[in-house]
Amino acid sequence: MGSDAGDATPSLDEVRWRIDAIDGELLALLDERAGLARAVAAAKQAAGDTGFGLRPGREALIVRKLVEAPRKAASDALVIRVWRELMADSLARQGPYHLTVWGGSNPARAVELTRLRFGVAPPMTVAATDKEALAAAKTPWGVGVLGLVPDNAWWGRLLAEPRLKIFAALPCLERWGPQVAFAVAEVEVEPTGGDQTFWVTDSPKAAAAIIEALSADGVAAELVAEAGGLKLFALLGFYQAGDARLARAPGSLTGVIGAAPTQFDV
Ligand SMILES: O=C(O)C(=O)C[C@]1(C(=O)O)C=C[C@@H](O)C=C1
């Protein structure tokens, strides 16, 4: 094919032949994986699990394992985008999976982050209000994505909605930018070995004083947002809602409103 034995640089024809061969193998594997969606749905049904099929913990374990696997050329970004698409496609085949996005003053960024995290398989609606996005997150197989917006404490409403939880912080890679939106749904959140827990308090103390009090009890915290007399903190690690250290932390109205994997490249 135009190159002598021992020639280090393969010809364009040779490289394209290899690409075509790899594409054939990839397609066969993609087809096989996509075909398992029906089996996954049937297995869940047989186990009496008829609720929302999304498993954020399982997705994080899959993605983290892939990102940590040795590679020669495929970037983290490529690996993550491909597998998010595969998992989203599987989920969309299992039930009426749908997304509703509210991005506040930056709807375009929220839409972009939503597609990066949830792929193109599920239909997406752009909501006019935070309330609309939260209401959609309570519908069967619904996910709401809401932006962090100054002076808006939509996240505080989750204190009164224990079934609704933040399960993802977007984007999932630091190189894609700071975490500026959260995904909310009626799903179980589980520890994945690299997590942040979201905790709200109505304590009027300064954020630094609250961080110090938590730190004295062994809890590493970072202020995420402050609005409407409430503060939202990200705690490093996975904390259960009934954790004794959080029970004695500052504030009279306090609570865990979800947890999410930490960014995979941090
Ligand atoms: O393992 C499951 O429960 C699946 O539904 C499969 C799968 C996947 O494609 O790997 C898809 C969606 C879930 O959120 C997690 C994983």
**Would you say residue 209 lies in a domain?**
yes
CA of 135 to the centre of ligand 1 (A): 24
- Residue showing tokens 């280090």: 8
Identify which of 55, 62, 83 to mutate to test ligand 1's pocket (most ligand atoms within 8 A of the CB).
Answer: 55
**Would you say residue 106 lies in a domain?**
yes
**Would you say residue 77 lies in a domain?**
yes
**Would you say residue 10 lies in a domain?**
no
For ligand 1, atom 11: residue with the closest CA: 87
CA of 62 to the centre of ligand 1 (A): 9
How many independent structural domains does the chain possess? 1
Element (H, E) at 169: strand 165-170
Q: Is the pLDDT of residue 36 over 50?
A: yes
Which atom of ligand 1 lies nearest, measured to the CA of 33?
Answer: 9
CA of 56 to the centre of ligand 1 (A): 8
**Can you give the pLDDT at residue 105?**
87
Which atom of ligand 1 lies nearest, measured to the CA of 53?
Answer: 5
**Would you say residue 143 lies in a domain?**
yes
Q: Is the peptide bond between 171 and the residue preceding it cis, with omega within 30 degrees of 0?
A: yes
Intra-chain end-to-end CA distance of the chain, in Å: 45
Q: Which of 214, 203, 223, 222 is nearest to 246 (CA)?
A: 214
Q: How far is it, in rounded angstroms, from Cα 153 to Cα 162?
A: 16
Q: Kindly give the interhelix angle for 107-118 and 76-94, rounded to the nearest 10 degrees.
A: 80
**Would you say residue 102 lies in a domain?**
yes
For residue 249, the tally of other CB atoms under 10 A from its CB is 20
Work out the mean pLDDT of the chain and round it to a whole number. Answer: 95
CA of 51 to the centre of ligand 1 (A): 13
**Can you give the pLDDT at residue 155?**
98
- For residue 8, what pLDDT band results from cuts at 50, 70 and 90? confident
Q: Higher pLDDT residue, 170 or 1?
A: 170
**Would you say residue 130 lies in a domain?**
yes
Q: Is the pLDDT of residue 4 over 90?
A: no
Q: Is the pLDDT of residue 2 over 90?
A: no
**Would you say residue 112 lies in a domain?**
yes
pLDDT tens sequence across 95-128: 999 999 999 989 999 999 999 999 999 999 999 9
By residue range, what is the domain housing residue 234?
31-42+53-261
Q: How many helices (H) and strands (E) does the chain have?
A: 7, 9
**Can you give the pLDDT at residue 258?**
98
CA of 87 to the centre of ligand 1 (A): 6
Complex ipTM tops 0.90: yes
Question: Pocket residues for ligand 1 (CB within 6 Å)?
Answer: 40, 53-55, 58-59, 62, 86-87, 90-91
Q: Is the pLDDT of residue 190 over 60?
A: yes
pLDDT tens sequence across 196-230: 999 999 999 999 999 999 999 999 999 999 999 99
CA dihedral in degrees (67, 71, 76, 81; nearest 10)? -90
For residue 175, the tally of other CB atoms under 10 A from its CB is 12
The mean pLDDT value for 16-26 works out to 98
Q: How far is it, in rounded angstroms, from Cα 47 to Cα 44?
A: 5
DSSP state of 56: H
**Can you give the pLDDT at residue 50?**
85
**Can you give the pLDDT at residue 257?**
98
For ligand 1, atom 10: residue with the closest CA: 87
